């Protein structure tokens, strides 16, 4: 541990911790992580907060995605803020509009909306010890003591690199930019992609379109969604006895963490159970053996993010649905030409081609100590220390950052635990009069080396598939240990892993300290 004392020369002002004042904190993003950050930081006594949001509403991914059939694959009772449990969920697995309404209501109820600068993207963050210089898209410049990135994981849509895509003469859009003005009834619709988004869309709209053409590169394992609509009696009971809401929250949390979390990180018995459930679902839902064969993946279930969906198989077996497994050769004005030379005529082309999972806060330019550029440092393989910090970027924290738990868990829960960890860092700064905290390079390397060594034992790496979990490094960018270990670690920070900087004049010499 390296702690230095003394006054801080230069910079934009003295350390807030040494001066005994409130730190100024910028939070980038007003999605679920940004909302949770404001509420929990205020509760911990940190109130000088400003949230920057690039659009005109809170909600993050639930604001961005508004496609037909959108629902969450995590039970509503757990996919909730621990401080804003509600008896009013209408379904066990909530649909997108209801989750967005919940996000907006929570932000309003807890006074988050009033501190959000809407339509204000952050284009540049530059560390000027001991503060960060923040520049907005309008050119405004503000300095903050700390920055928290709450931009989420999947927010930058990826368009497929297919020849002729710009020539398509019909209606075309990415699922995250769904155009509700485009009519679907009776029209020939094509969808590229077969992930969870595509599965939900196909299940939701096939009955109303003329033909549904699903262009499949890789089949997906699917498990039935145990959907349930809650009765008014049940909602009234939870309203009368709110303690039951916490009991149910913990039940779903423990069930999901101990089953899906354990399966993906090495529990072969639980993995076998998931495989059997997926196989049974496919066999019972698709009677045609030829179609079933084309829908059968050649990899282990849960290798990709497991899809909870009961509507896709009934839709794809409909008379007006076509599963097209020949590769796409090019896109032409009238539709899609496949490798067999056939042109599939389309009126609407839907791109369910996912997001850039390596972006995180990028494309915002983030410059740390000695001009270190975050995008260049990551170079397509983003890594972080405990998913929240990066060496060389003091007082810069991330929620849902690289190498965090993702697979089939409630990211709201993960975010809340990460916020608690960041609050512990702030408390440490306040208690010891520190100017800055940043992960040590050696700690960062040891932590990520341990994960790299453990990844091969996870189903994401050993299950025989490729997925959006893989980045430029060629390995899944995920936390490979049991998720309860990560959640526990978030409440037991080891400050020896960090540079604890009390005197900014010592910062340069400390950058290489292990």
Q: Report pLDDT digits (tens) over 349-377.
A: 999 999 988 889 999 999 999 999 999 99
Query: Contact 331/250 with Cβ under 8 angstroms?
Result: no
Contact at 8 Å (CB) between 175 and 197?
yes
Of 309, 283, 305, give the one whose Cα is nearest residue 296: 283
pLDDT tens figures, 123-155: 999 999 999 999 999 999 999 999 999 998 888
What is the C-alpha separation between 150 and 296, in angstroms, rounded?
37
Backbone angles phi, psi at 132, to 5 degrees: -110, 135
The whole-number average pLDDT for the span 232-238 is: 97
Q: How far apart are CA 479 and CA 264, in angstroms?
A: 10
**Please, are residues 77 and 248 in contact by the beta-carbon 8 Å criterion?**
yes
The arithmetic mean of pLDDT across residues 452-471, rounded, is: 93
| Two domains, one topology: 16-156+356-510 and 165-228+267-351 | yes
Give the pLDDT confidence of 322-352 residue by residue, as tens digits: 999 999 999 999 999 999 999 999 999 999 9
Say what the pLDDT of residue 207 is.
98
pLDDT at 8: 33
What pLDDT sits at residue 347? 98
Domain locations along the chain: 16-156+356-510, 165-228+267-351
Torsion of CA 113, 114, 119, 125, to 10 degrees: -100
**Residue range 151-177: average pLDDT?**
94
Q: Looking at the domain that runs over 16-156+356-510, which CATH code has it been given?
A: 3.50.50.60
Over residues 373-388, mean pLDDT: 96
Report, at the CATH architecture level, how domain 165-228+267-351 is classified.
3-Layer(bba) Sandwich (3.50)
For the chain, the C-alpha Rg in angstroms (whole number) is 24
Q: Does 9 score more than 90 pLDDT?
A: no
**How big is the chain, counted in residues?**
514
CA dist 16 → 100, 389, 484 (Å): 36, 20, 34
Q: Which helix (H) or strand (E) holds 149?
A: strand 146-149
Enter the pTM of the model.
0.94
Q: How far is residue 418 CA from its own chain's centroid?
A: 14
- pLDDT tens sequence across 10-25: 334 468 999 999 999 9
Q: What is the pLDDT of residue 14?
A: 60
Q: Quick one: which of 129, 147, 146 has its CA closest to 9?
A: 129
């Amino acid at each position: 541990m390296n702690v230095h004392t003394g006054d801080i020369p230069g910079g934009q002002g003295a350390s807030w911790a040494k001066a005994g004042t409130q730190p100024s904190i910028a939070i980038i993003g007003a999605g679920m992580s940004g909302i949770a950050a404001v509420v929990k930081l205020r509760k911990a006594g940190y109130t000088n907060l400003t949230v920057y949001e690039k659009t005109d509403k809170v909600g993050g991914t639930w604001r961005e995605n508004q496609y037909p059939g959108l629902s969450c694959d995590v039970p509503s009772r757990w996919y909730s803020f621990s401080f804003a449990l509600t008896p009013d969920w209408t379904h066990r697995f909530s649909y997108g509009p209801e989750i967005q309404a919940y996000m907006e209501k929570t932000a309003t109820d807890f006074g988050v909306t009033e501190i959000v600068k809407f339509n204000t993207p952050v284009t540049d963050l530059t560390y000027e010890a001991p503060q960060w210089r923040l520049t907005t898209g309008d050119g405004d410049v503000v300095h903050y003591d700390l920055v928290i990135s709450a931009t989420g994981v999947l927010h930058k849509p990826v368009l497929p690199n297919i020849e002729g895509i710009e020539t398509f003469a019909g209606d075309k859009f990415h699922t995250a930019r769904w155009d509700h003005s485009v009519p679907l009834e009776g029209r020939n619709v094509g969808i590229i992609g077969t992930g969870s988004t595509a599965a939900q869309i196909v299940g939701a709209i096939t009955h109303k379109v003329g033909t549904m053409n699903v262009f499949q590169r890789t089949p997906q394992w699917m498990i039935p969604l145990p959907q349930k609509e809650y009765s008014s009696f049940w909602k009234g009971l939870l309203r009368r006895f709110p303690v039951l809401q916490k009991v149910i929250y913990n039940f779903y949390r423990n069930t999901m963490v101990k089953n899906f979390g354990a399966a993906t990180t090495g529990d072969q018995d639980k993995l076998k159970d998931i495989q059997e459930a997926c196989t049974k679902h496919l066999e019972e839902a698709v009677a045609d053996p030829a179609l079933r064969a084309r829908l059968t993946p050649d990899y282990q279930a849960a290798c990709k993010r497991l899809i909870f969906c009961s509507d896709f198989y009934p839709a794809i077996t409909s008379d007006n649905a076509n599963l097209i497994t020949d590769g796409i050769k090019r896109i032409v004005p009238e539709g899609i030409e496949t490798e067999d030379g056939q042109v599939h005529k389309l009126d609407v082309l839907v791109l369910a081609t996912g997001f850039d999972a390596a972006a995180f806060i990028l494309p915002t330019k983030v410059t740390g100590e000695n001009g270190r550029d975050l995008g260049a440092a990551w170079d397509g393989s983003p890594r972080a220390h405990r998913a929240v910090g990066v060496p060389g970027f003091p007082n810069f924290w991330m929620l849902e950052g690289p190498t965090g738990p993702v697979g089939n868990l409630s990211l709201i829960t993960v975010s809340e635990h990460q916020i608690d960890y960041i609050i512990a860092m702030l408390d440490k700064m306040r208690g010891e009069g520190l100017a800055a905290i940043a992960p040590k390079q050696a700690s960062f390397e040891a932590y990520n080396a341990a994960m790299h060594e453990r990844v091969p034992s996870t189903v994401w790496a050993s299950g025989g598939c490729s997925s959006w979990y893989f980045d430029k490094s060629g390995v899944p960018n995920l936390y490979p240990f049991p998720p309860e270990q990560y959640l526990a670690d978030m409440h037991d920070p080891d400050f020896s892993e960090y540079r604890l900087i009390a005197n900014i004049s010592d910062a340069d010499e400390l950058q290489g300290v292990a």
